[in-house]
Amino acid sequence: MVADPREIKSVCVYCGSQDGRDPAYAAAARAMGDALADQGIRLVYGGGGIGMMGQIADRVLQRGGQVVGVIPEVLMRAEVAHAGLTEMHVTADMHERKAMMADLADAFITMPGGLGTLEELFETWTWAQLGYHQKPVGLLNVNGYFDGLLQFLDQTVEHGYVSEQHRGTLIVDSEPQALLVKLR
């Protein structure tokens, strides 16, 4: 049976291991958690219990949703591995973690975060560009956090490094619910 491409049962969320300065970021993580749980979508994430990562996982669990964490052994202490998840996978390294997170999800969402978050967004997006997967890649632009990045991405097209077509595949919205609708 061919799966309906719009059927999204699991979403992989990349976000900061810190909360960030603007309280709107953590609030958005909680709102994303609500949206996922309410729609019966399983959260796949990095398994940490701190920052935005902890906020979104806690919220999905509080609303009765399912959360799968994937964390490398060395980060279990640094990222305070979440103890109450539906499922937790401990991987040997970061490469295995990223591959497993990607395999377990039907779509990707990046929220505000730091270098780890940006790396995960770009890896997932370039994999789509290379045809390794056909899963939608979304960006939650909370309070304009990613405005500068989006502007720069337009510049990569103007300068002839990224095609208009690939630039257009990044799905952007500022509201969790609206972003989930667009991903479908």
Q: Is 75 in the site for ligand AMP (CB under 6 A)?
A: yes
Measuring CA to CA, how many Å separate 148 from each of 14, 36, 143, 144, 184?
19, 27, 12, 8, 26
Q: Is 16 in the site for ligand AMP (CB under 6 A)?
A: yes
Q: Is 116 in the site for ligand AMP (CB under 6 A)?
A: yes
Residue 100 burial by CB count (10 A; 0-12/13-18/19+): exposed, middle or buried?
A: middle
Q: Is 18 in the site for ligand AMP (CB under 6 A)?
A: yes
> Smallest Cα–Cα separation from 126: which of 148, 146, 102, 147?
102
Which of 59, 65, 66, 79 touches ligand AMP (CB under 6 A)? 79
The number of helix segments (H) and strand segments (E) in the chain equals 8, 7
For 104, list phi and psi in degrees, rounded to 5: -75, -10
Q: Is 17 in the site for ligand AMP (CB under 6 A)?
A: yes
By CB under 6 A, the count of residues binding ligand AMP is 16
* Minimum CB distance to ligand AMP, residue 139 (Å): 14
135 to 174: interface string for ligand AMP, x by CB under 6 A: ----------------------------------------
- Asked whether 16 and 114 are in contact (CB, 8 A), the reply is yes
Q: Is 117 in the site for ligand AMP (CB under 6 A)?
A: yes
- Footprint of ligand AMP (CB under 6 A): 16-18, 46, 48, 75, 79, 94, 98, 113-117, 119-120
